[in-house]
Amino acid sequence: MVDGLQASADRRVISGIRVVTPTQVLYGAAMTIAENQIADLAGSPEPFPGGEEDWLIPGLIDTHVHGAGGADIMDARLDSLLEVARTLLRLGTTAFLATTMTATESRLAASLQAVNNFISLSSHSGNSPAFRNSGQRRNYPDTAECLGVHLEGPFISGQFSGAQKTVHLREPSLGLLHKFQAWSGNNLKILTLAPELPGSEALITESIRLGIIPSAGHTAADWSEARQGKKWGIRHITHGFNAMRRLHHREPGLIGMALTDDEVMLEVIADLVHLHHSILGILYRLKGADRLVLVSDGMRALGMPEDEYELGGQTVLVRQGEARLADGSLAGGVASLLDGVKTMIFKVGVPVPEAVRMASLVPAGLLGLDRRAGSLEKGKEATFLRLDPDWNIKEIWVRGQIV
């Protein structure tokens, strides 16, 4: 055994570590890896006095990220998608949804087709039983797995468009939805829309039929419109509090509906820019860990120095951890998903298993992947991060292999 790793021909054991499971931390733990899966896991729920063991946490899953490493999904190029996926993996995100911006039909078509090609090239068929059980990638082993597409717009409100260009907004259209789905290779997983727009009911209903999660966001919906959207099938909210009506004591709006309905899940950008730490605490107390999905909303400056960048055809200035347009509007995030987990633990006081769960098992469950990924449990794939006692990344493992 060297540095807590004991290897044999087909089994490896990492020992002397703290393992974060969905419900507890195991101290003095040992995890056995056979091929691409966790074969065994053991440890004590009681901490050792003075212990300074490394942490093992599951690979993080980001369901809302536009870019990273100087590249953007809307570049519609394989080299850009590779750079996004490589940067995300380096930052601890092992799987993600490629998130688009409101744009022309031709640019959306090119971006969605590029993502479809990237998924095919990188993992052959990442959700097929054969691929899940093989423990192998066809190409690009140093990249985060692209699980599909989060289509953010163009069916959103001009009043709350944020960094999305209003000239390209469209009213809900089943024809366009079918085009988007075809261009993506049937890889649309989440659709952000404004439920108050004419035609939203049919769009929400059809999204659900196609297996796409309809999410309310960039919306001017008031309380009654939000409740109506919920009746039509909305169970998910895009970047809560941002790009929507403010919470008001006489008109609580969409965010008020989301906070008081246990069936609704809420995206949370825990970068202390989009949301104050006290709001993060309120969200945790009201919704609980299993109804909050941590996301980065990362743009191409994620993992890059502060400078000027582009987002959706607009110039973004990144200064002091904030990405803003010239008018001061927030334009995505520059903090990684792991940074968000650490914020919830060290700034908000959320217990470690719950903070980690919000960025791993909860999004995995949302996407129907929780039987193979999202937590460190026997029988699941061995995709995880090894962190030092101060939560800095030491190793990244993907399907039983150090990347």
What sign for the dihedral angle of Cα 203, 204, 208, 213?
positive
Burial 102-126 (b: 16+ CB within 10 A, else e): bbeeebbbbbbebbbebbeebbeeb
Please indicate whether residue 222 is annotated as part of the active site: no
Per the DSSP assignment, residues forming a β-bridge with 397 are 384, 402
Between the two ends of the chain, the Cα-to-Cα distance in Å is: 20
Question: Measured at the alpha carbon of residue 305, what is the angle toward residues 113 and 107, in degrees to the nearest 5?
Answer: 20
Q: For the packed helices 200-209 and 223-232, what is the interaxial angle rounded to 10 degrees?
A: 30
Helix (H) or strand (E) holding 193: strand 188-193
Q: How buried is residue 278: exposed, middle or buried, by Cβ count under 10 Å (0-12/13-18/19+)?
A: exposed
DSSP string, 97-163: EEE--S--HHHHHHHHHHHHHHHHHHHSSTTSHHHHHH---SS-TTSPEEEEEEEE-SSS-STT-TT
d(CA 33, CA 15): 11
Annotated catalytic residue within 75, 297, 339, 370: 297
Q: For the packed helices 174-183 and 200-209, what is the interaxial angle rounded to 10 degrees?
A: 30
83 Cβ contact list (under 8 Å, min separation 6): 68, 69, 70, 71
Helix (H) or strand (E) holding 40: strand 37-44
Q: How buried is residue 101: exposed, middle or buried, by Cβ count under 10 Å (0-12/13-18/19+)?
A: buried
Contact 109, 123 (CB under 8 A): no
d(CA 276, CA 76): 34
Helix (H) or strand (E) holding 202: helix 200-209
d(CA 50, CA 236): 42
Contact 119, 148 (CB under 8 A): yes
Question: Any idea which residues carry the catalytic annotation?
Answer: 297
